[in-house]
Chains A and B, each alone.
Chain A
Amino acid sequence: MRTLLKKPIIIFWIILVLSSILLLSTIGLKFGVDFSGGTAFQVILEKPVATDELSQAASILGRRLDWSGSKDARVTPSGNQYISIQIAESDPAEIASLKSALLQQGNFEAVLDGNILFSGDDIRTIYKDPSRGYGITEITKGVDYQWALPFLLSPDAAKRFAEMTFHKCTPTGFAGDTSDDAYDCEKTYFFIDRPKDAIILIDKITYLDEKEVPLIPGIYSSSFPIEDLFDQLNVPYYIVDNNLTDNELASLTSDFNSYSKIILSPNISSEIKSKLDEIGFRQINILKQENVPWIWDATGLKSVISITSGIANMDVSTMESSRFKTFSELHVTGRADSYESSQARLDDLLLVLESGSLPIAIESISTESISPYLGKDFLKTSLLIGIFALLTVALVLFIRYRYFSLAAPILLTGTTEILILLGLLSLMHFRLDLAAVAGILATIGTGVDDNIIIIDELLRGHKKEDREHHESLLKKVKKAFFIMFAAAATSAATMFPIIFFSLGLGKLVGFAVTILLGTAIGIFVVRPVYAQIAQRMISKDHK
């Protein structure tokens, strides 16, 4: 036993097993749609595109489905015209609406004082060209960065912009030594899909929580009153208690003539909901997401941008539009304390301004969905199969060899093989699906086959009738490994093409990956370990 523990391969094996247990208990296993429930969309684009265009399309589709990133949509581009999206949602009605969301371009609007300043259609070009000012400039390394996004408006929109923003700044004190006078300017609000046919109903708790709306969600920033945001919407809103007052009820009933939908904040009581049902409203429940104020999600607010004094024509004193400076080319700029957060803000805004228009048309969308209840069943069944498979292997081996000290290590090494494989998969953040489970079961199978080869090679010649086969143990182990290597190489030969050619065959990839990893762990670690143990057992027995 002690000599066994000195072998490098055994030490390496023990380290692998321990670190796998550590990985599994810290990172843990992740499950795909098959087990956790959810939906997988497979989008095919009209024609093959370049890699960067494909990943651009993928991020746009991801946003269409899930602007705030709250639904945990996982978007993976594959090949050159496929995008697969997985999302933890399996309700048929919800899937249908997600699927139409995939097809729809968001409706971008920049709003000032409740009026549209310019919309997605008004944007002629977005310059992604550093010579026009696009990008990030470092002002003070490590603390201060400025980002800028230049774009061109259509002439009509530019004129409207100039008129609407005219003198929207008021001079304030503390001019100081800067060349610009100090101004307090109004804000423009950038929306995607600003509610137009829906009333907003916000409960007191949420209202008090979000009375002051942050300018940039998720980080510390200055804020503005929630009423400013309501002013941009042109739809009625109500701040309600646990129940509706008679006045509110009457007013809502009359609103129903012009608005069919109602957006509800998270704490709206069921009494209110049943009353709204009676009136006939279609209710849209919007949940509160972490790091994003509820009101941002509910109204589709994506960004708040202040007007600058230069653009507001503060130096022109009359209202005569002929004297305005009209700016067709506008820059949205901002400051952030790191390069990464500048980049993130810039990317976000770019996506908003492009309002998620795809660079290429969608050919078709396929969906597969599994309810979480069924997924749980699948997981239970898979575990059951795994356990019973190991027990069956043990039984068969015991019947065949009647030799506990040879059969028991097969179970031990077999179990560690799965453990190491699972550890590796959790390190890779691999999501286990049914195909991967099939791959793991296959690994158990080949593992046991290999161990049988080792035992039989070693035992050959120990029986009296074939003394002629008597060879050294080492030579026998070598022969066993020749067989195992050949078998492993054939497995690899059939699995590699799946990984390389499986454009849209995401499912098969999981299968191939688990088999390849399992085979490698088996042939390079677990089998040598078993061979060591078995050699020891047999030479002890025959001394």
Chain B
Amino acid sequence: MKFFTQKNYSKLLIIPIILLLIFLVLIFIYPSIEKGIDLKGGNQIIVHYPDQKDFSNLEFALKNNYDLTEVQINEVKSLSEYGLLIEFSLQNDLEIAKAARSKLNFDLDLATLQLEVSSILAPLVTADLLTTNEVSFVNLVKNKEDLKLSLNEALILTNNNFYAKITTLVTTELNLGSDAKIQTREIAPTLGKDFVNASVKVGIVAFVLLTLVILLFFRELVPSGLILFAVIFDVFAALAGMAIFNISLSLTTIPALLMLIGYSVDTDILLSTRVLKDVSKNPINSANSSIATGLTMTITTMSTIIVMLVISYLSQMLVIFEISIILLCGLVGDVMSTWFFNAPALIKYAIKKNHKN
């Protein structure tokens, strides 16, 4: 069976271009991708338990007792287990206190500053997030530097106390014992910001290195450009999948995207090598002979990923589940980009080149 023929190959090019436009809409316009809590900062509690539980009180209790601006509770079910994924924002009073701290003017004298710090911390004591003992430092400190340090620590402590209260509330509301399967995450917004910066840096350097490596191996501008385009296309396909399945960008999904680059580039390199290195042969034939190999590779990988997907779904291993979805979408994208884009474009290029010779 011949997939590429003299007539059809250049028409195939239109498919990936339309798809790319759709991906861009999905990623940036609707439904678009959100940043996960490890990139934007926030709190998350995941609990697993064997029997169904009524959690309608929980949301009410959380909102009522702790004045939370944002609470999200999602139930996750699998064959063997139930689970809740709870995400919540920082506590309101704490947010206000933090804002007030950043506005503090440390040029004022110590006595005035002590008064100001007391008034910043007072609502936190009222909200039962700090004990009077924990704010006693305000009157004990000897200099401004100590005041600044202790205030900083008091705010971290507040968040800590707040978080402990919420987790206790969740475990008692759901009647979870000491052997509860629980996973908690509390990411400071500053850490999230640093993660984003580092990820961007890694992404840029990785792309530059990738370009250099491909140029080094193929030493021809057009085929290298085509491979890079295919890789970008696959990443966008995966991102579009994330947007559709409501998977956020996080420290677990970024590796999945990088993993995808490794997988998707294999088939493109295979294709380019066969079409370009066998100069004596007809590029269309070379491309056709690559399809069987390339598809075997992709299908094998896809089937292992489907295994991952099913098992991680059944056992509620959210991280692996998300990674599987991303890889699967990316690999579907890879079939498009390699055989509907890279192959026809490469055939065109090779035929032109052969004519020149």
Interface residues of A (CB under 8 A from B): 42, 44, 46, 82, 90-93, 95-96, 99-100, 103-104, 361-371, 373-374, 377-378, 380-382, 384-385, 388-389, 392-393, 395-397, 400, 434-435, 438-439, 441-442, 444-446, 448-450, 452-453, 456, 460, 466, 468-469, 479, 482-483, 485-487, 489-498, 500-505, 507-508, 511, 515
Contact = CB atoms under 8 A, between A and B. Distances in A.
Contacts of B164: 92-93, 95-96
Interface stretch (B24-32, B109-117, B261-269, B335-343): B261-269
Contacts of B168: 92-93
A38 to B, nearest CB: 11
Given A377-B315, A446-B266, A449-B300, 13 more contacts: A103-B153, A371-B181, A374-B183, A385-B312, A445-B263, A448-B300, A449-B301, A452-B293, A452-B300, A468-B281, A490-B210, A491-B262, A507-B255
B325 to A, nearest CB: 13
Contact of B304 (A368, A392, A434, A495): A392
A442 B190 contact: no
B210 A384 contact: no
User: What's the dominant secondary structure at chain B's contact region?
Assistant: helix
A501 B311 contact: no
B317 interface: yes
B118 interface: no
Nearest to A94: B164
B153 A479 contact: no
Most buried by B among A91, A92, A370: A92
Nearest to B280: A468
13 contacts: A42-B191, A44-B191, A95-B184, A364-B190, A396-B300, A396-B303, A438-B256, A450-B266, A456-B292, A482-B273, A486-B214, A498-B202, A505-B198
B351 interface: no
Contacts of A366: 185-188, 191
A534 to B, nearest CB: 14
B184 A487 contact: no
B270 interface: yes
A449 B277 CA distance: 20
B252 interface: yes
Contacts of A485: 217
A494 B181 contact: no
Interface residues of B, number: 82
A504 B315 contact: no
Given A44-B191, A385-B307, A496-B209, A362 B156 contact: yes
B307 A490 contact: no
A508 B212 CA distance: 23
Interface in B179-215: 179-191, 194-195, 198-199, 201-202, 205-206, 209-210, 212-214
Nearest to B165: A96
B304 A494 contact: no
Contacts of A381: 311-312, 315, 317, 320
Given A369-B184, A482-B273, A363 B296 contact: no
A446 B199 contact: no
B99 interface: no
